[in-house]
Amino acid sequence: MSEKTHFGFEQVDVEEKQRRVAGVFDSVADNYDLMNDAMSFGIHRLWKRFAIEQTGARPGQRILDLAGGTGDLGARLSRLVGPTGEVVIGDINASMLHVGRERLLDKGITGNVQFVQANAESLPFPDQSFDCITIAFGLRNVTDKQKALASMHRCLKPGGRILVLEFSKPVAPGLKPLYDIYSFRLLPLMGKFIAKDEDSYRYLAESIRMHPDQDTLKDMMEQAGFEDCEYFNLTGGIVALHRGFRY
């Protein structure tokens, strides 16, 4: 019997999830950043800025930005590590990587950035390759999240850190019912009219609900070997930034 997992609220075979997630991001790649601005009213830029601040990125470091397809985190990290450092932008989806490569070329960012098509569950890098690993709004789309966290831990240098920026569970009083209305009624409509893709954004709303809550993800990071794990709730817990270290 094939192993099952969830694709949004559906139960599907593992192989089918990977294929369908790829289809979602093939579909949304060209409008991904535009939809991020529309969906979050621009607040995603503040979430990402906070994540960048928590990386502690310094000149000469080597940083892996996973699910970094469109390159918005990678562009900022490349400035922080400077010409003696390197940012590797990894994404499982070729369409997203293509969009990111074109955008960074347009900005003149080429010297210290490379793009690698990579599955987070089995990263194609040697042990202890990176000073920092970031993954923003990508972990919830990974089929085996525990396996991916273990792979990231393997690739971190001692003293390195991981930052996971992801949608989470609202904790502010009264926020959840409003967030549900927004997610399941307004978000698919925005996808329909802005990105011409209602189904993909319905999946994205469902995938957020299936993602582990703040404390569960913290426990998973600790199981993967990370230490001093903590999280920061942003915008009432709609998004959380988790941070952990490898010692």
Residues at the binding site for S-adenosyl-L-methionine are 70, 91, 119-120
Which residue type sits at 137? F
Maximum distance among all Cα pairs of the chain, rounded to whole angstroms: 51
The CA-based angle 39-71-81, given to 5 degrees, is 130
Contact between 235 and 43 under an 8 Å Cβ cutoff? The reply is yes
Contact between 187 and 201 under an 8 Å Cβ cutoff? The reply is yes
DSSP string, 77-139: HHHHH-TTSEEEEEES-HHHHHHHHHHHHHTT--TTEEEEE--GGG--S-TT-EEEEEEES-G
The CA-based angle 148-164-6, given to 5 degrees, is 55
Burial of 147: CB neighbours in 10 Å, binned 0-12, 13-18, 19+: middle
Which residues line the annotated binding site?
Answer: 70, 91, 119-120
- Phi, psi at residue 87, to the nearest 5°? -115, 125
Contact between 81 and 109 under an 8 Å Cβ cutoff? The reply is no
* Residue showing tokens 């792979």: 151
